[in-house]
Structure 1
């Protein structure tokens, strides 16, 4: 009996010859489809002074192609950026009513099958005046440190109760838009202040806020900061040089602050230094200065192991922020391991990716994108089942949050399911080839014919059986939408 005929009979009715290893080859798909915790996000604001809750219907609709604002492109999305603007609470504790409204938003996200990227801010409006920066003048309207720390303490139980529908948390709190720059209380490094840098006391106050937020955020989740130097100063102290060492693979994903701090660049490729993203903001004894080359190198190395996202903010840096060959937008996303971007801002930049021909690639490859290449399986087993899978992550980054990787055996006749968990950390499935090998005891499984499937469920039990929260492989004819399983299109006999 030929190998080809044996495989055909195996799939249809079971091959009766001596068990052998069969290699199955899979076809890659170019389809853009929703996957959890990656891709373009939809931005939303919730002002405490005029709270507008999230809509379940609208959130569910984002999983289908949707166009926002001035965008000339559609996106499918599982991520919602939620800016909770605490404008009513700059001098007082958060009210129970407002905390309840936040909880309701998380509940709505859970029902809709999406996850939130929360940021807490105090002011999202600027005002013009007689100041050096003209269009952004003080006082800015954020809150002092004692108020911020009190709010973080109030938010801690809310964040922990809703860890399952939080993708990652942005630092926020300090300054306009929560971007840690134009601030009344934490050191104004802008042209509006003669200081034009951050003093030691300013850094200590910022570190205290970040430490409090890391403590308030569920330990399995990452917190993103606006600039790489914020992480360096939190990890190594307020005197830390910009040459401080980035995260290493041995240090990654171990739950320490160093392993949990990622980045949100809200001026992606907007200028040579991304509007101060790669500046050294100094301290009491040193001046502010540009350190673009050094901090970009740090960012690129560190970001391999932490979440990176953000938004574009200015098209003045065209063609550098365009598609290749004139620009380097895609290469920047690869080098800096981008997991997500804002679909609504700045569309003057993003629309250039449409006309330049790289938008479809960006939509597919933000974050992870797993392509199954081959699988090697036995035709029949009695005691031990060994499978060898070859995959490739063609995306810009690995998954940010831990989740199980499961082999599913589903009985062809009675549809009973048996689950085996691979010994692997999906967060270490970096861009490039991935080998997944598992050996499992099947001695207790009833004899019969079984389909093989691969499952990447959410790590939280409340979402583990929700297909919307499971990872889909980028292959033709593998996705099972009703279960969230990926079919390996192979059957084995358990004797």
Structure 2
């Protein structure tokens, strides 16, 4: 006679699951097809720069940017989806007085319109965007430059703080601004002029003043938002001159050091990107080149912070071209770029289109998540932990720089009732390359037996945006995205039994 128990055990092992008189979940392996489609995703990609007055944003125009593969620029020969707008607000009329209520009210209107349209802002304030020639050593840019003293800057930041706190949900990142022409922290009347027009180096007192402004900005924002600075030396001086980049344990900790990010507004424009990677000196050390040292620092630190900017000159060709002659994509990947200006400098950007690498750049700025494989149970007892194993590849240059949830969604196929289960994984640490989500998760106590679709949802953490599909991350796979919900289907049915 045959031993029924032995037969059952052999049969169960053959199906890659164990059973000892009781059925335990059988797993199914799902593979996913990668999509090459270009589509919008929040907080990444090419951004549109707007220098209009506060209150001039139009909801229908912003929606069109996000939903239409187009560009609002007459000299661009390429098109793209846009989920980020750069807003550079000028405070010229307030250089010696408080910001008036009307300006602040109009600024709130812009935040409201941006939220309704499903976009986010890259935000900067400056006192002047105008330079003038003259009889000075620099020639093309001469003092007085037209920015404001520290006491005015700090008062303005204090005035803006309530608005920044209230509307941080639609601020992707804030740039330090305020100091110097264009808010780029160089040509300034009050914070140390390291150009040939003045001392030619940055005195210690000026570094302290700059640190005070940066600290005020960090404090004006919620702790989960970053402030981008124009050069790596600005960050290094803020952290007391320490040259070491962020350590993995420090990343995304919401400490001041972890929240200082970078914008390079002359990306790929010269050997040191027009002084981006220069050491501007101090009271005890001269101004000097530091291109190799600061590039190495930038590459390591940028893995954990928001990086963006714009190109500003096509003269650095072929280096700023597509490969193999240039290294545009290589540099974006090494420095973890999440966004670039869509319309400046289009002599550079247009080259990427004609040379054939623009499609890849559009897709890979920031994150681009691809579902590769999942191992999921077919049947699940209601009292047991749900074991999931999901393999994701980030084909982008960077990981998401702002906090983001990762949820498993269980949706009943009959009643359409939805249950949300939060995962422990940190989406900010889904760096370029492969990430495994391997977790045992408890089913909600109130869940009912039945058949459930399994989906993956990466929503915004803000309550105001949590249920908005426009603010959820879409995976680059065929037949997984649900535009009405913002969910990504795992293409799997789970049967929950008692």
Question: Is 1:60 equivalent to 2:66 in the alignment?
Answer: no
Cα deviation, residue 134, structure 1: 2.3
Q: Distance in 2 between matches of 1:75 and 1:19?
A: 45
Q: Could you report, residue by residue, the CA deviation over 1:113-166 in whole angstroms, capped at 9, with x for unpaired residues?
A: 000011010101111222222222211111011100000010111000001111
2:87 corresponds in structure 1 to: 82
Q: Distance in 2 between matches of 1:205 and 1:66?
A: 42
Q: Distance in 2 between matches of 1:30 and 1:131?
A: 52
2:450 corresponds in structure 1 to: 448
Question: Is 1:73 equivalent to 2:78 in the alignment?
Answer: yes
1:11 corresponds in structure 2 to: none
Q: Could you report, residue by residue, the CA deviation over 1:223-282 in whole angstroms, capped at 9, with x for unpaired residues?
A: 00000000000012xxx26xx111111111111111000000000011011000000000
1:22 corresponds in structure 2 to: 28
Cα deviation, residue 190, structure 1: 1.6
Q: Distance in 1 between matches of 2:92 and 2:373?
A: 54
Q: Distance in 1 between matches of 2:234 and 2:25?
A: 58
One of 203, 220, 226 as aligned partner of 1:216: 220
Q: Could you report, residue by residue, the CA deviation over 1:338-369 in whole angstroms, capped at 9, with x for unpaired residues?
A: 01000010000111111111100000000001
> Is the 8 Å Cα contact of residues 24 and 380 (structure 2) preserved in structure 1?
no
1:204 corresponds in structure 2 to: 208
2:43 corresponds in structure 1 to: 37
Please list, as runs of the form range in 1=range in 2, the aligned pairs for 1:161-240 lying within 5 A after superposition: 161-193=166-198, 195-236=199-240, 240=241
Per the alignment, in what secondary structure is the counterpart of residue 62 of structure 1?
A: helix
2:163 corresponds in structure 1 to: 158
Per the alignment, in what secondary structure is the counterpart of residue 219 of structure 2?
A: helix
2:327 corresponds in structure 1 to: 328
Cα deviation, residue 387, structure 1: 1.3
Q: Distance in 2 between matches of 1:224 and 1:277?
A: 13
Per the alignment, in what secondary structure is the counterpart of residue 93 of structure 2?
A: coil
Q: State the TM-score, normalized to the length of structure 2.
A: 0.93
Q: Distance in 2 between matches of 1:432 and 1:24?
A: 19
2:255 corresponds in structure 1 to: 256
Q: Distance in 1 between matches of 2:182 and 2:441?
A: 51
Q: Distance in 2 between matches of 1:470 and 1:285?
A: 49
Please list, as runs of the form range in 1=range in 2, the aligned pairs for 1:250-289 lying within 5 A after superposition: 250-289=249-288
1:430 corresponds in structure 2 to: 431
Cα deviation, residue 46, structure 1: 3.3
Q: Distance in 2 between matches of 1:337 and 1:191?
A: 32
Cα deviation, residue 52, structure 1: 5.1
2:389 corresponds in structure 1 to: 388
Per the alignment, in what secondary structure is the counterpart of residue 52 of structure 2?
A: strand
Cα deviation, residue 90, structure 1: 0.5
Q: Distance in 1 between matches of 2:177 and 2:39?
A: 30
Q: Distance in 1 between matches of 2:221 and 2:134?
A: 37
Per the alignment, in what secondary structure is the counterpart of residue 303 of structure 1?
A: helix
Cα deviation, residue 285, structure 1: 1.7
Q: Distance in 2 between matches of 1:66 and 1:207?
A: 40
Q: Could you report, residue by residue, the CA deviation over 1:35-80 in whole angstroms, capped at 9, with x for unpaired residues?
A: 0011100000134xxx552111111111121222311110101101
Cα deviation, residue 18, structure 1: 7.4
Q: State the TM-score, normalized to the length of structure 1.
A: 0.93
- Which deviates further from its counterpart, 168-177 or 58-67? 58-67
One of 109, 119, 125 as aligned partner of 2:124: 119
Divergent runs of 4+, >6 A: none
Quote the RMSD (CA, aligned, Å).
Answer: 1.2
Please list, as runs of the form range in 1=range in 2, the aligned pairs for 1:343-358 lying within 5 A after superposition: 343-358=342-357
Q: Distance in 2 between matches of 1:85 and 1:34?
A: 29
Unaligned runs of 5+ in 2: 1-22
1:411 corresponds in structure 2 to: 412
> Is the 8 Å Cα contact of residues 303 and 336 (structure 2) preserved in structure 1?
yes
> How many residues get paired?
470
Per the alignment, in what secondary structure is the counterpart of residue 148 of structure 2?
A: coil
Q: Considering only CA atoms, is the larger Rg found in Structure 1 or Structure 2? A: 2
Q: Distance in 1 between matches of 2:376 and 2:204?
A: 60
Q: Distance in 2 between matches of 1:333 and 1:223?
A: 20
Q: Could you report, residue by residue, the CA deviation over 1:71-100 in whole angstroms, capped at 9, with x for unpaired residues?
A: 111010110100011111011011111111
